[in-house]
Structure 1
Amino acid sequence: MKKIPVIILAGFLGSGKTTTLNHILRSSNGKKIGVIVNDFGEVNIDSLLVSRQTDNTMELSGGCICCQMNDGGLDEILATFSHPNSKIDAIVIEASGIAEPIDLRKLILYSSNKSISMNGVVYIVDAKNIIDNLKNHPKINNHIAAADIIVLNKIDLVDKNDLASIKSTINKINPNSIIIQTKEGRLNPGLLFDIDLNTSKPEQLSLAVGTEHSKHDHLHDNFDSISFSSKKPLSPKKFNHFIETLPSNVYRLKGIIYYGMKGFEQKIIIHKVGSHISQSAEEWQNDETPMSNLVAIGVDIKKQDILNKLKGCIDKEPENISPEDMVDIMRLRGL
């Protein structure tokens, strides 16, 4: 009986999971990969960014994937990808930035679906921010310890001495894992699909605390998310001010921005992690409705305050473009 390998792609907020996944999909050499994308916000931004690479994308939104399993959501999606006539070669689960890799591994190992096999946990680490992340969110230690492969991403943003220290820290947390260094998530897909961990047994999960999800103190228990959508274009000047004055407890901002001004109809894809902002411009596809979709994630967020500020970014006169507006756009794009 054909068994479809399932790979769990995890990592803390802003580590580069979606970028890595998109690279895997572009470099899969004809393999048909089913993708399950879980995002913490009500608007699944990651799914929007991944769906451009494959038609085989399904999503679980509005919370952590390991907290939705009583509803049978994951099993239902896995069954869709792994039926007897399926042409899928592998399944990748991109977990939210605050999901528990241990729980996800257990869900696959204990699944009643006989057509799938657990093929490993790949954990993405943001080299630039990992030391601060470990200090501020100690449970990331458990996440790293649960990984079979650790992808040390964004190595181009740290110097050699710091990189050596980071690798040493990771090795102390998980001495048995492979560490792969990458820039911009450029991971060789063959490293994932060649992992064979089918001999893993549920009783080997010694890192699991207890046997029931409800007994776990989860990292995501402290996090909140805000989702914002608007078909009305945003003002570059107002949005730039919003970014510059964003509270420090908003750890992550990601999504798509629509300005809608003459001469600049492109969509802007934004990723903000701490003080670092990465943005790029793309053309809208024929089947896409131009609109902004943003998700902010942080601790003790004043949701309504931030939502009101985002609503205040809506441009009432988007066609009135000025050189000053263009300066703000170029700065936001990182050009």
Structure 2
Amino acid sequence: MNSRHADGKVPVTVITGYLGSGKTTLLNHILSQQHGRKVAVIVNEFGEVGIDGQLIVQDDDEELIEFNNGCLCCTVRGDLIDTITRLQERAGELDAILIETTGLADPAPVASTFFVSDEIRDSTQLDSFVTVVDVVNLEKNLEQSVEAQEQVAFADIILINKADLATGETATRIERKLRQLNPLARMYRTVRGEVDLALVLNVNAFQLDAKLLVDPAFLEDHEHEHDPAIGSIVLRETQAIDMNRFMSWVTPLLQEQGDAIFRTKGVFNAHSFNERVVFQSVRMLTTMSRFDPWREGESRHTELVVIGRNLDRAALESGLARCVANGPGASAEREPA
């Protein structure tokens, strides 16, 4: 697989997808298969804490840059231009740039950045917009979110992720719905974001004319407005968390408020575990797993980002506080998968 486009420009792959679709999992899959290629990774999150940045597996061939102060399609587009401009200073070393957008991003303004900015237009080339969709929650996401619709419509490549959680009939119905929104995109079914990299990297799939048909004004400078009722809350705790107590609290909470709590993602200081424990939820579907060990002398703490509509900060903070492990009497821990 060649690294650069024929004209010598650095290919840029933009990974989009609604909250919880599996973008970070795909990004880690890509990075694990790079085999020495020099890659710059730009991650944008819809909260003040970079959970995704903590969960990206890095080595010496990657440079990770995080934006946590806004959405790439809105307030930090200037930051994106500045960052890529700085990356040009080492363009001779870079083989690719990967950008993971927030799950609430409108892809059009992100794409237009690479055409309206003289600083980066001459040395980079948009290679493809890869949109990850969650086969379990896609229909509900499309119904409730304009951003989810825009991400599908703007995609060059659509990965129908979590295909193992859907029947063949459901997956076929999802594909038909996606085709109605985007008849041109290439589609592949994936499990845990695993896909042949030759299908998604350096494929020269981004075509400006096709994008102008989707959004004739996308090259114009315009602001993307998010639903003001949708926001994020960061819950923090320095004491160890009893994960049994946490699951006993969060499971009924998500069952009751699955339509209001879209996404959670957190790294936990879990009682009796030497590793970070990662908890994630997409509406009512939850996963919990071990990650890398805490380093010796490192300050252990829990950070949980909750994204949803009209969130009750006080209730969420109180709920997490009740999950603190209380010394030797704490309950036996649930074993993460």
- Provide the TM-score with structure 2 as the length reference: 0.87
Match for 1:301: what amino acid?
Answer: L
CA distances 1:99-135 after superposition (whole Å, capped 9, x unpaired): 1111111112222222211111110011111112112
Q: Say which is worse superposed, 18-27 or 203-212, in terms of deviation.
A: 203-212
SS in 2 for 1:98: coil
- Aligned counterpart, 2:113: 107
Partner of 1:116: 124
The alpha-carbon distance between structure 1 residues 208 and 252, as it changes in their structure 2 partners (threshold 3 A), is farther
Checking the alignment, whether the CA contact within 8 Å between 1:142 and 1:207 is kept in structure 2 is: no
**1:302 and 2:302 correspond:** no
Equivalent runs, 1:17-166 vs 2, <5 Å: 17-52=23-58, 55-69=62-76, 72-84=78-90, 86-112=92-118, 113=120, 114-166=122-174
Find the counterpart in structure 2 of residue 223 from structure 1: 230
Q: Which of the residues 267, 278, 283 maps onto 1:274?
A: 283
Q: CA, structure 1 residues 197+10, in 2 after alignment: closer, same or farther (shift >3 Å)?
A: same
**RMSD (Å), alpha carbons:** 2.4
Do the aligned partners of 2:18 and 2:147 also contact (CA within 8 Å) in 1? Answer: no
Once structures 1 and 2 are overlaid, which stretch shifts more, 282-291 or 166-175? Answer: 282-291
Q: Distance in 2 between matches of 1:20 and 1:85?
A: 24
| Cα contact 1:109–1:117 (8 A) shared by 2 | no
Deviation at 1:236, TM superposition (A): 2.4
| Residue pair 2:70, 2:76 contacting (<8 A) in 1 also | no
AA matched with 1:259: A
Q: TM-score under structure 1 normalisation?
A: 0.88
In structure 1, C-alpha distance between the alignment counterparts of 2:86 and 2:239, rounded to whole Å: 36
1:181 is aligned to 189
1:141 Cα shift? 2.0
CA distance in 2, matches of 1:199, 1:10: 17
1:137 is matched by which residue type in structure 2?
Answer: S
Deviations 1:168-221 (A, max 9, x none): 11111100110011011002222222221476369836425573423x444x54
The letter for the 1-side match of 2:230 is: F
What is the CA-CA distance between 1:241 and the residue it aligns to?
A: 2.8
CA distance in 2, matches of 1:86, 1:293: 37
CA contact (8 A) 1:102 1:208 kept: no
2:204 is the counterpart of 1:193: no
Contact 2:106 2:147 in 1 (8 A): no
1:259 to 266, 270, 279: 270
Q: CA deviation at 1:84?
A: 4.8
Structure 1 105/241 Cα, relative in aligned 2: closer, same or farther at 3 Å? Answer: same
Identify which range, 147-156 or 29-38, moves more after superposition. 29-38
Counterpart of 1:68, as a letter, is T
Separation in 1 of the partners of 2:216 and 2:50?
28
Unpaired runs of 5+ residues, structure 2, are 1-6
CA contact (8 A) 1:109 1:118 kept: no
Correspondence for 1:242 among 249, 261, 273: 249
CA gap of 1:203–1:192, structure 2 versus 1, over 3 A, is closer
Which structure 1 segments of 5+ residues have no match?
A: none
Whichever residue aligns with residue 69 of structure 1, its letter is V
Give deviations 1:313-334, integer Å, cap 9, x for gaps: 33342xx155x422xx23xx2x
Amino acid of the structure 1 residue aligned with 2:158: I
Change beyond 3 A, Cα 1:304–1:111: farther
Against the structure 1 CA distance between its residues 198 and 121, is the aligned structure 2 distance closer, same or farther, given a 3 Å change threshold? closer
Residues 235 and 320 of structure 2 are in contact (CA less than 8 Å); yes or no, is this contact kept in structure 1? Answer: yes
The equivalent residue for 2:178 is: 170
CA distance in 2 between counterparts of 1:265 and 1:194 reads: 40
Change (3 A) 1:147 1:310: same
